Amino acid sequence: MELSSGTVSPQERIGASNAQPYAESMALFRRAAQVIPCGIYGHQSPAATLPGASPYYAARAEGCRYWDVDGREYLDFICGYGPIVLGYRHPEVEEVAERQRRDGDTFNHPTARMVELAERLVSLVDFASWAVFGKNGSDVTSWAVRVARESTRRKKILRLSGGYHGIDPWCNHSPAGIIEEDRAHVHTFHWNDLEGFAQLMRRHAGKVACVIVTPYHHPAFGDSILPARGFLKAIEQKCRDEGVVLILDDIRAGFRLHLGGSHRVFGFSPDIICFSKALGNGHPISAALGRKELRVPASRVFLTGSFWNSAVPMAASLKVLDILERDDVPAKLQRSGQRLREGLERLGTEFGKDILGSGPAAVPFYRFNDESNFRQWQRFCAYAMEGEGGVGAFFHPHHNWFLSAAHTDADIDQALEIARVAMQRTLEETI
């Protein structure tokens, strides 16, 4: 498609340079579109990535690489959108999971793994005295909000504008299927706007049940923003003063920045913390942990699901936590992420096209510094996915990336070489 700037879309360029690179993906998607709304829904929808210029379906994975249904290999910097913190199919984790699977997964009762995992998590998180489990982030963020309401007997939820806490009506960004009443008691404030937050607290004085925050702001389609000095601590203090429950949604960054919760990095202390993603290294599990003062309200708020007490993900999580601690994975992710960031920044300087990295190096967001509409960045990411010599780099154009412990220096360097070629091709077509 010829655009007004004289540039072309990623789809057209990819189509021209390499006929049908994602033919099997497309064939599957055509079938999917007949029987599944959206074909692929949610964050993995092609619509959210690069339709026509990125893989749609995966076939297998190992370490920090995966292969799509067309047999193309990728160095992965999305890690399943976060869950893969140690690398795909980590042998130690899978061995434990397989052992548990042989004994059984879903029973009439929980297993000892549930008790062990709760004990382990409580020992890791400084303020926590209890833990509960779900499958996905939404399970525990929504439950945590209900616990806050039960504890305070108040209605109002204060949350960040542009923040993401899951798919439930109170926090879902989409208007579809939502009625006004679903969000009648949900109010937003802007990241790092302490005065706006204070005003909101004053306006709803005595009515606020909880404030839910992320450890840093990580919107899609936008730079990640770290907290201003004292921002989160001031929110904590205000919550203490007003008897409001402070919930930390650490679904995305949890265990990547600090084993004891990301609040430890940013110097504040919530009342409830929610984890998912990295906890199971791909096994479906989420957890909420809280202060002892919230133990009784937590006991009153109904929580269950057909598979929420499954033993395999809990066994896997126990192993994941052991490895995270043993190998000091957060420090390793920081080093790998920093190597990637420095490499991309060097590349940008070399080509006279600044690449801007924001957020923690282990969970970075990247874009070209001179554009906010992602047009060139989308082409760069499409070329990176297409790759060189049969190996691409899965660089997401609009979402933060994730590093895993499986990324070696050699992997990072290989990704940077792929990025170099992608940068050349991107800039060549712009000239």
Partner 1 sequence: MTPAAIEHLRCRLFLFAVLPAMDDLLKASEEARALLGDESFSVAFKTRSGLRGAYFLEGETCRFDWGNAAEKADVELFFHSDAQANSTFEGRKAIPPMPTRGISKIGRVKQFQDIAAVLEDFLQPNGDALRDTDFREAFVKTYFGIMLRSLCQLCEHERVSREIFRSGPHGLAQFQLGRDGVPTWLNLVPRRLDWGRGEPPRTADVTVCFNDPAVALHALHDEMDAQAELGLGTLEINGFPPLAEQVNLLMERIELYLPRGKTPAGI
127 touches partner 1 by CB under 8 A: no
Cβ distance 232 to 268 under 8 Å? yes
Q: Identify which of residues 21 and 46 has a Cβ nearer to partner 1 in the complex.
A: 46
- For position 37 contacting partner 1 by CB under 8 A, the verdict is yes
Query: Is the distance from CB of 20 to CB of 72 less than 8 angstroms?
Result: no
374: left (phi over 0), alpha (psi -120 to 50) or beta: left
CA atoms within 13 A on the CB side of 132: 27
User: Judged by CB under 8 A, which stretch of 3-11, 132-140, 193-201, 262-270 contacts partner 1?
Assistant: 3-11
The answer to whether residues 231 and 179 touch, using CB atoms and an 8 Å cutoff, is no
* Near partner 1 by CB under 8 A: residue from 14, 21, 24, 48: 48
Closest CB to partner 1 among residues 276, 378 = 378
Structure tokens at 353: 């096209």
Please pick, from the candidates 29, 133, 380, 401, the single residue that binds partner 1 as defined by CB under 8 A: 29
Report if residue 373 touches partner 1, rule: CB under 8 A.
yes
> What is the number of residues in the chain?
431
Task: Using CB under 8 A, pick the residue from 23, 38, 59, 115 that binds partner 1.
Answer: 38
Stretch that binds partner 1, among 46-54, 87-95, 223-231, 294-302 (CB under 8 A): 46-54
Distance CA 303, CA 352 (A): 54
CB of 47 to partner 1, least distance (A): 4
Compute the C-alpha angle 120/268/119, nearest 5°. 10
Per CB under 8 A, the segment of 145-153, 164-172, 275-283, 369-377 that binds partner 1 is 369-377
Separation CA 9–CA 377 (nearest Å): 11
C-alpha count within 13 angstroms, C-beta hemisphere, residue 271: 27
| Pick 81 or 374: Cβ nearer partner 1 | 374
Q: Which one of residues 20, 45, 106, 424 is an interface residue with partner 1 (CB under 8 A)?
A: 45
Nearer to partner 1, 143 or 395 (CB): 395
Bridge partners, 367 (sequence order): 356
Contacts of residue 31, Cβ cutoff 8 Å, sequence gap at least 6: none
* Binding region for partner 1 (CB under 8 A) out of 122-130, 198-206, 286-294, 372-380: 372-380
| Only segment of 48-56, 114-122, 152-160, 248-256 that touches partner 1 (CB under 8 A) | 48-56
130 binds partner 1 (CB under 8 A): no
Nearer CB in complex with partner 1: 12/388: 12
Q: Name the segment binding partner 1 (CB under 8 A); options: 5-13, 145-153, 204-212, 266-274.
A: 5-13
Is residue 10 at the binding interface for partner 1, with CB under 8 A as the rule? yes
Interhelix angle for 409-430 vs 329-351, to 10°? 30
Residue 216 and residue 400: Cα distance in Å, rounded? 12
> Residue 40, interface with partner 1 (CB under 8 A)?
yes
Applying CB under 8 A, which of residues 185, 332, 375, 399 lies at the interface with partner 1?
375
**Partner residues linked to 132 by β-bridges:** 288
Give the count of residues interacting with partner 1 (CB under 8 A).
34
Q: Establish if 359 lies at the interface with partner 1 (CB under 8 A).
A: no
Give the DSSP letter string of 172-185: -S--TT--GGGGTT
Strand positions, DSSP E, 147-239: 156-160, 186-189, 208-213
Site for partner 1, residues 200 to 259, rule: CB under 8 A: 221
d(CA 342, CA 357): 9
State in angstroms the smallest separation of the CB of 205 from partner 1.
24
Residue ranges in 171-210 that form contacts with partner 1 under rule CB under 8 A: 175
Determine the Cα–Cα distance for residues 341 and 384; give it in Å rounded to an integer: 16
- Name the residue among 371, 419, 372, 370 with its Cα closest to residue 394: 419
Residues that bind partner 1 (CB under 8 A): 1-5, 7, 9-11, 26, 29-30, 32-33, 37-41, 45-48, 51-52, 56, 175, 221, 372-375, 378, 398
